[in-house]
Chain A
């Protein structure tokens, strides 16, 4: 364990570790509803407090999803402001989301099993 220099409570660390593992699947799940651009995606994620603390970190994540072939991007003009870069699920993205959706309940139950008195 590395020392917590920022002096944050341990809960913050656990939360950030968990977020690291599941955030990309939350992004894929939001994109299941249809293509979204960055700001839009962040608004949806931001509606649930724990998911994003620093909005900018979503972009390296989206870049990785694109390089891994889970999402595709395209630019679309907008009546206000610059063209938006839209992110859209690929078949591989759908498959990854499906796999996660199947694993998650077991995972959640297993954790509950251990941490519940």
Chain B
């Protein structure tokens, strides 16, 4: 077992990773690699690998929040985003996603516009944006599927169809809630 797989070290590094969610991935990975190296070197030099020695090394490294605060202090201050804008963006995302089902000519361009706005917004990580984009694309893809597949062949009975119909609008809504939580956690 390498030292980074030790539960104490893993949970310490995980705490640093959690606290530095606001850093760029490059900076965050560098910091985690530096701390990982520090722990391994400090223990190798003490010729120690017991839990007590590991605890000592981690205690001297300090509170993950303190390290994160130092790292984040160097980062350009995060742009201030009003909650109103966040809510408006998410509401539009959900609304245009649904609009594509009922009025594709209007909804598709609108949805493209909102997704473009989403990717330019600073308050989410790319992973969150990808999740939201995928969820917002579900209703239009569903609409396209209904339109392309010849009528009748998709007839798998009302019993199976109802859950699918419910899931189509539920996904964008769930994505909206997820993004909302994510934006508030990061800010």
Contact between B38 and A56, CB atoms less than 8 A apart: yes
Known: A38-B34, A39-B38, A85-B34. A60 touches B71 (CB 8 A): yes
Q: Is the Cβ of A63 less than 8 Å from the Cβ of B63?
A: no
Query: In the complex, what's the smallest C-beta–C-beta distance from B20 to chain A, in angstroms?
Result: 9
B47 CB to closest chain A CB (Å) equals 8
In the complex, whether A80 has a CB less than 8 A from a CB of chain B is yes
User: What is the distance, in angstroms, from A12's C-beta to the closest C-beta of chain B?
Assistant: 13
**Number of A interface residues, CB 8 Å?**
21
Judge whether A82 and B44 touch: CB under 8 Å: yes
Known contacts A38-B34, A63-B34, A64-B74; is-contact A56 B66 (Cβ 8 Å): yes
Q: Which residues of chain B from 38 to 65 have any CB-CB distance to chain A below 8 Å in the complex?
A: 38, 40-45, 47, 60-64
Q: For B61, B64, B73, which residue has the most chain A Cβ atoms within 10 angstroms?
A: B61
- CB within 8 Å for A38 and B62 given contacts A56-B67, A60-B74, A81-B43: no
Residues on B with beta carbons closer than 8 Å to the beta carbon of A39: 38, 41-42, 45
Q: How far is the CB of A33 from chain B (nearest CB, A)?
A: 19
* Cα A26 to Cα B30 with chains together (Å): 22
B61 CB contacts on chain A under 8 angstroms: 54-56
Within 8 A of B (CB), among A21-71: 37-39, 53-57, 59-64
Evaluate whether A59 and B43 lie within 8 angstroms (CB atoms) in the complex, with A54-B63, A64-B74 already known.
Answer: no
B35 at the interface (CB under 8 A from A): yes
Instruction: Name which of B16, B38, B62, B71 has the most chain A CB atoms within 10 A of its CB.
Output: B38
Cβ contacts under 8 Å, A63 to chain B: 27, 30-31, 34, 71, 74
Enumerate A100-114 residues with CB–CB distance to B below 8 Å.
none
A108 to B71, CA, bound (A): 28
Interface string of A82-98 (1 = CB under 8 A from B): 11110000000000000
Rounded to whole Å, the gap between the CB of A58 and the closest CB of chain B is: 9
A57 engages B38 (CB within 8 Å):
no
4 interchain residue pairs of minimum CB distance: A54-B62, A81-B44, A60-B71, A56-B61
Chain B interface residues toward A at CB < 8 A: 16, 27, 30-31, 34-35, 37-38, 40-45, 47, 60-64, 66-67, 70-71, 73-74
Q: Footprint of B on A, CB under 8 Å?
A: 37-39, 53-57, 59-64, 78, 80-85
26 contacts between A and B (CB under 8 A): A38-B37, A39-B41, A54-B63, A54-B66, A55-B61, A55-B62, A56-B61, A56-B66, A56-B67, A57-B66, A57-B70, A59-B34, A59-B71, A60-B70, A60-B71, A61-B70, A61-B74, A63-B34, A64-B74, A80-B47, A81-B40, A81-B43, A82-B37, A82-B41, A84-B37, A85-B34
